[in-house]
Structure 1
Amino acid sequence: MPVTLDYNGKIVFITGGGRGIGLAITTAFARAGATIIITYTSKDPQEVVKKLTEEYKVSIHVYHCPGEDTTRVNEVIDLASKEVGEVDIVVPNAGVSLWRDCIDMSDSELDWIMKTNLYAPITLCRGFVRHWLGMSTSVQSSEDPGKPPAGERVNLNKRILCVSSISGIVNMNPQRQVAYNVSKAGLTMACKSLAGEWAKYGITINSISPGYVATDMIKDPPPGEGREWADKWRKDTPVDRFADASEIGQMVVLMCSTESSSFMTGHDLVIDGGFTTY
């Protein structure tokens, strides 16, 4: 059976889907015909959503949802499922970074990175899996109705794909970003762990770890030494260029297709132009 990238009739939920890599993922799914739900925290993406809707003739729904606010996340899961339909694919993409020496990092900055990059994707996935199983999205009791009896297998036929980073594999240089590195390493391992835990529910969960992508940060790097860093990153990438965000978006669509992800779970796909080969 050939792999199809036809997502007509499928509903995809993407956090941070209005900018950067998230926008590329949204665009790729829109091109494939999916109905899309995207969340945002600060900048309302209605302008780009309107453009994509007109270009690809698909339905895109937008919800304000700070990922670290678990109460709001659970509300959006329930609300979007009711207003749009039952979600088939979840893509926790939203993330934040901070270049700061650890000894200069405040507690609030550390909390912000960890809650956004690690805690939020885990609670989002937990909320969706509970919803799919007929449980309340929030954890009120381990005995909530809807959970299958111990040992019983079900086939929900759902896909989860988290956007991690090669920063969870290698210590990036020359920038200092220990919190970001740790959060992404944790996210990659969370996907592996949850893949084993949720396989019995017919859910596959994988992650991708992109290398340097030509988003706004690289196209317009910080002043001072930051402008020299971008050149170093490119030189340290064997293919001698940065990825275009569309390359990441298209790979996410491929990885979430019914045929390609029916047996693959717990895998982290590195897309880095060879950066981690050294």
Structure 2
Amino acid sequence: MSFEGKVVVVTGAAQGIGEGVARAFARHGALVVLGDHHEEKGAAAAASIRQDGGQAVFCPCDVRSEADIKRLMQTALDEYGRLDVVINNAGVSRWKSPYDLTVDEWDDVLNTNVRSCFLATREAARIMKEKGNHGSVVNMASTRSLMSEPNSEAYAASKGAIVALTHAMAVSLGPDGIRVNCISPGWIETGDSALREEDHSQHPAGRVGKPDDIARACLYLADPDNSFVTGTHLVVDGGMTRKMIYEP
């Protein structure tokens, strides 16, 4: 699998899954544009990719801003002259009782997680269509689009909306040679907490996920050879959404 000469934009790329995805594409020869509102971390991530032999630039971007999203896509065009792949990874969560969740908090989650996917896909598609090159978009949903814990309403709604938005835009953009897919990660450890043996053993796959697991899924969905794969929802969760759990 090679992405030599392909230009890839990754949002939320300063850390965690987004950084892992950006690094994976760079290792496979892509020219990567990292977008994030954490400017120091984002610039450091891009610099680290370059130190490892990859090609990467950082563009500050708050995905709640339409202007920032347009500037991010234009940066890819200005730096590399084309745009082939967009990974819409940026997102936020709120764990708060529905009795207490404010309208502003709800709107912030939906705007950050869902509206940004629409805007980024729209702006990228305009460039891809104008350049006449087939393109690929991968949206990051979550297994919380399928199952829930208490007090996760805004996050769950946003991730469910991403799944629906994915197949809608796949149908709309298909005639222009643009594929749109989404991934629902399960528990992916990004170094924020210490894992216990029981954390691993509750997964049918025998372990908690890593950013590279999601990165490999992105590489598969973005690969031009997989031109028959569009509108799909790929769950990458170590089998957890297929495991029945009963209280003893």
Q: Would the TM-score normalized by the shorter structure come out above 0.5?
A: yes
Distance in structure 1 (CA, Å) of the matches to 2:190 and 2:61: 22
Q: What's the counterpart of residue 122 of structure 1?
A: 118
Q: What's the counterpart of residue 65 of structure 2?
A: 69
Distance in structure 1 (CA, Å) of the matches to 2:194 and 2:35: 25
- Identity percentage of aligned residues: 25
Query: Which amino acid in 2 is paired with 1:48?
Result: A
Highest RCO, 1 vs 2 (Cα 8 Å, sep ≥ 6): 1
Q: What's the counterpart of residue 31 of structure 1?
A: 27
Q: What's the counterpart of residue 95 of structure 1?
A: 91
Distance in structure 1 (CA, Å) of the matches to 2:49 and 2:71: 26
Q: What's the counterpart of residue 149 of structure 1?
A: none
Could you state the TM-score of these two structures normalised by the residue count of structure 1?
A: 0.81
Query: Which amino acid in 2 is paired with 1:268?
Result: H
Q: 1:274 aligns with which of 239, 242, 248?
A: 239
Q: What's the counterpart of residue 84 of structure 1?
A: 80
Give secondary structure in 1 for the equivalent of 2:34.
Answer: strand
Query: Which amino acid in 1 is paired with 2:147?
Result: V
Query: Which amino acid in 2 is paired with 1:237?
Result: H
Query: In 2 relative to 1, CA 265–114 (structure 1 residues): closer, same or farther, beyond 3 Å?
Result: same
| Partner deviation per Cα, 1:213-234 (whole Å, 9 max, x = no partner) | 01244x269xxxxxxxx88865
Asked if the contact 1:212/1:233 (under 8 Å) is kept, the reply is: no
Q: What's the counterpart of residue 166 of structure 1?
A: 143
Q: What's the counterpart of residue 175 of structure 2?
A: 200
Distance in structure 1 (CA, Å) of the matches to 2:21 and 2:111: 22
Asked if the contact 2:204/2:238 (under 8 Å) is kept, the reply is: yes
Distance in structure 1 (CA, Å) of the matches to 2:45 and 2:66: 26
Superposed CA RMSD in Å reads: 2.1
Q: What's the counterpart of residue 47 of structure 2?
A: 50
Asked if the contact 2:188/2:210 (under 8 Å) is kept, the reply is: yes
Asked if the contact 2:34/2:46 (under 8 Å) is kept, the reply is: no
Distance in structure 1 (CA, Å) of the matches to 2:72 and 2:188: 29
Query: Which amino acid in 2 is paired with 1:251?
Result: A
Distance in structure 2 (CA, Å) of the matches to 1:160 and 1:111: 24
Q: What's the counterpart of residue 156 of structure 1?
A: 133
Could you state the TM-score of these two structures normalised by the residue count of structure 2?
A: 0.90
Q: What's the counterpart of residue 157 of structure 2?
A: 182
| Partner deviation per Cα, 1:60-116 (whole Å, 9 max, x = no partner) | 011111001002211332233123221111111111112111111112211110001
| Partner deviation per Cα, 1:109-137 (whole Å, 9 max, x = no partner) | 111100010011111101111233349xx
Q: What's the counterpart of residue 238 of structure 1?
A: 204
Asked if the contact 1:214/1:243 (under 8 Å) is kept, the reply is: yes
| Partner deviation per Cα, 1:151-207 (whole Å, 9 max, x = no partner) | xxxx63111111111111112x3x521100110000011001111111100111101
Query: In 2 relative to 1, CA 106–232 (structure 1 residues): closer, same or farther, beyond 3 Å?
Result: farther
2:49 paired with 1:20: no
| Partner deviation per Cα, 1:224-262 (whole Å, 9 max, x = no partner) | xxxxxx8886564333421011111122112211112x1
Asked if the contact 2:142/2:183 (under 8 Å) is kept, the reply is: yes
Give secondary structure in 2 for the equivalent of 1:8.
Answer: coil
Asked if the contact 2:128/2:134 (under 8 Å) is kept, the reply is: no
Distance in structure 2 (CA, Å) of the matches to 1:243 and 1:105: 30
Q: What's the counterpart of residue 215 of structure 2?
A: 249
Distance in structure 2 (CA, Å) of the matches to 1:232 and 1:113: 31
The count of corresponding residues between Structure 1 and Structure 2 is 242
Distance in structure 1 (CA, Å) of the matches to 2:143 and 2:67: 30
Per-residue deviation, 1:41: 0.8
